[in-house]
Each structure stands twice: as structure tokens, then as C-alpha cells.
Chains A and B, each alone.
Chain A
Amino acid sequence: MNRPLPTLTDEERAIYEWQIWVRDFGEEGQQRLKNASVMISRCGGLGGVVAYELAAAGVGKLVLAHGGSARPSDLNRQLLVTYESLGKPRIDTMTRRLLDLNPRLEIVAVGENVNEDNAARLVEQADVIVDCAPMFEERLAMNRQAVLQSKPLIECAMFDLEATITTVQPGSTPCLACWCPNVPPTWKRQFPVFGAVSGTVGCLAAMEAIKLIAGFGQPLFNRMLRLDLRDMTTQTVALARNPNCAVCGSPAAR
């Protein structure tokens, strides 16, 4: 994010007027968003809302990775997928919906999910990474590359009416592998969730990305926010780095 800040056009000033009024953000914050790129791993129930909020906020470039074709079971939460797009590549409808909202947005649309082969290339193209993938293989590959390339990584997740979110700053906070070193043996790919739950944590993740890019507020470094929408309670857990972490621990541990 060391590139010179671009100026805003009159149209952009008009569109973003209400958020430029936000304390500590201002016009320079808006310029930083315009200058920034964010990579989102999967743009479903969670990542789709992250992408939509960041497109609305005026982030300049989104790198989107999402494979497969739209299915009926996407429609309860994947807000970028439309009924008309069922059976068609998800990445196409996601791209179209985002450009409908913000035609100034630059999109790198990748019609595949994150894996060990493409993670490095995807992370290279962005300043901030948002991990919204359902498979821990994808999440751990993304985490490894974010740490290797020293890119901040927003880790967000949901299950039933629960959600968690934390922000990894490589070198100073725990990474995903510090507390989830491998694929949990009991994890099941399909799980209960409402779109309103994935959307809630998606909005929180988008706000984390905006704060990181614009440099204001306190991101969720070294802490995990946990929400339970069943009883509307929140908890903040202080996280600890694992010196033996195979990804970000001491050189001897890697």
C-alpha cells in the first residue's frame, strides 16, 4: 500500500460523502481505499457480503477466488448469487453483481478455489486477504501464504448462529495455524447456518479490512471476537502465539 494516493473524482466524492465524514477516515481514508486491493477467498455467504461491502465502500481492486456453479442451496446466504444464475459459474454472477454496484471497481475474477498451487499468486495481487472459505485445506493454504508474504489476513467463520473473527498480522499476532495447525478431524463440510449470520460476520470482516487499509481504529489483533446470535452475546478471547507453530513459530519449529 506504498503506492502514491490517487485523487478522487467529483463523482467519487459525491458517492462516498457520508463515509468521508467518519472521524479519523476522511478524504485520505477514501483515497487509501481507492488505492487498495483485497483478496477474498470464496465469495459465498460470508465472502460475498465482504466483497459487496468493500465494493460499496470504494476499494479499488478485488481479487476474488470462487469455483463451481450456482446451486439452489447457495441462495439462502450467497447474496451475490441470483436465481437466474443457477447452474452457471458463480464467479460470473458475482463479478456482474459487484460491477452493477460499482462500475469503477477493478476485479480479478478467478473461477477456482484457493489451493496450494494458486495461493501464492492470489496473495501476491492484494494488500489485504479475507479468508471466507469453508474447507480448512483452503484456509491453511491461504494462511501460510499470507504469513510468507507478510500480508494481513482477516479470518472469519460461522456455524449455526455462531460466528468468530480475528485479524492476523504476520510477525506480531497468532496466525491461523497457531490454534488450528491442521484440518480438524471432526469437521463436516456442510453445516447449519442462516444468511443473516454469515452476513453479520461478513460486515465485520469488511470493516476490519477498511480499518486496516485506512489506518484507523483498533483491528482484532491478538484477540478473537465470538458472537452467538442465538442469545445475542459476544465474547472477546485473548489469543496467544504458539512458538512451536509450523507456519509462524520460531525458525526451528518451521
Chain B
Amino acid sequence: MQVTIQYSGQLKLAVGLADERLELPEGATLEELVRALAERHDNGARRFFVDEAGAPQPTLMLVVNNRQVPAGTRQALADGDEVMLLQPISGG
């Protein structure tokens, strides 16, 4: 199956992409996608995706089809899903 990933904030600059498409095995979960992206963008952007233990960063907001998925939720992905990774931003 294929999912679309949209990047935002500092994460967009770190990976050098606004969005990309990724082929995943059927039944893949959101957490597995985040781990796969950490491997794919291991050249400097890894810390945006996962913490030192390899779990998704608690501060990375995960959004599937415009619905936020709370941290720690097991969410199976489906073909055509649009996943947005929202890096928290601030003011100033």
C-alpha cells in the first residue's frame, strides 16, 4: 500500500522535503511508518522522528487524514492515507 507523508516546520527543513510517498506493507502501523522514516532520513533528521529508545518523539504530532492520533495509540494505516507530521512551532 502507499501513503503520503506531509512535513511541516523545522522537520520540513531537516528532511528537505514538503511531502513524499512511501510504499508500506499491508497492515503497517503509524508507529512503524515513523520508525521507517527515521531510518530513511537518518542523515541528521532522525531525532525529529524518534527518541533515543527508537520510539516516536512524544512532541511530534501525528495526523492521519486530518485527525490527530494521540501518542501511544496503535493505528493501522490504509492505502491512500495522508499522514501529516506536525512539528510544534512557537511565537516570538
A contact residues vs B (CB 8 Å cutoff): 42, 44-47, 131-136, 139, 156-160, 162-164, 178-188, 191, 193, 198, 224, 226, 235-242, 244
Contact = CB atoms under 8 A, between A and B. Distances in A.
B91 A182 contact: no
A160 B12 CA distance: 10
Nearest to B67: A238
Contacts of A135: 90
B88 A157 contact: yes
Interface stretch (B20-28, B30-38, B68-76): B68-76
B88 A240 contact: no
B10 A187 contact: yes
Contacts of A159: 8-10, 89-90
**Chain B contact patch, size range:** 20 to 34
A65 B5 CA distance: 38
Nearest to A133: B91
Contact of A182 (B8, B58, B63, B68): B58
A237 B10 contact: no
A164 B8 CA distance: 11
A186 B68 contact: no
Nearest to B63: A237
Nearest to A50: B91
Contacts of B90: 133-136, 139, 157, 159, 187
A240 B69 contact: yes
B59 A238 contact: no
A158 B91 contact: yes
A162 B92 contact: no
B84 A46 contact: no
Contacts of A157: 88-91
A180 B57 CA distance: 10
Contacts of A47: 91
A48 to B, nearest CB: 10
Contact of B91 (A134, A160, A162, A183): A134
Nearest to B51: A185
Given A162-B8, A162-B9, A237-B86, A184 B70 contact: no
B66 interface: yes
Nearest to B14: A186
Contacts of A178: 70
Contact of A237 (B59, B66, B87): B66
Interface in B46-88: 47-48, 51, 57-61, 63, 66-72, 84, 86-88
